[in-house]
Structure 1
Amino acid sequence: MTASPVARLRAQRGVASAEYAVATAAGCGFAAVLIKLLTSDWGQALLKTLFDLVLKMIGI
């Protein structure tokens, strides 16, 4: 006997929530690495170089 489409959707509702939780955790982990990288001396030098390059390109 096969389950009705409504019953199948109800059974998979938790799967979608788990996928959102994994995506949120991955996003938070990526943000933490990015913050750590950009607050380091190397990251600060990289940002300064990028901003200087952009400002030079637009003529400021």
Structure 2
Amino acid sequence: MRKLPTFREDDGMATVEYAIATLAAAALAGLLYLIVTSDAVVAGLTALVERALAVKF
């Protein structure tokens, strides 16, 4: 007689948790990309680098 597989209530949860974490990480990466490439941040970073390069030794 062939034994049928038994399923626990939490079977497959690790896969779902990984999928949710991956989606959350991708959403956070997209948000950070939008912030870093915004005009205000680009202008601030450009000004900071120009000021640092203009320092006389």
TM-score calculated relative to the size of structure 2: 0.58
Q: Is 1:24 aligned with 2:22?
A: yes
Q: Distance in 1 between matches of 2:22 and 2:40?
A: 27
Structure 2 match to 1:3: none
Larger radius of gyration: 2
Letter paired with 2:15: S
Aligned length: 49
Percentage of matched positions with identical amino acids = 35
Unaligned runs of at least 5 residues, structure 1:
1-6
Give the alignment's Cα RMSD to 1 decimal: 3.2
Alignment of 1:1-60 (within 5 A): 12-48=10-46
Displacement of 1:49 after TM fit?
A: 5.6
Displacement of 1:42 after TM fit?
A: 1.5
Displacement of 1:22 after TM fit?
A: 0.4
Q: Which runs of 4+ in 1 moved over 4 A?
A: 49-53
Q: Distance in 1 between matches of 2:11 and 2:29?
A: 27
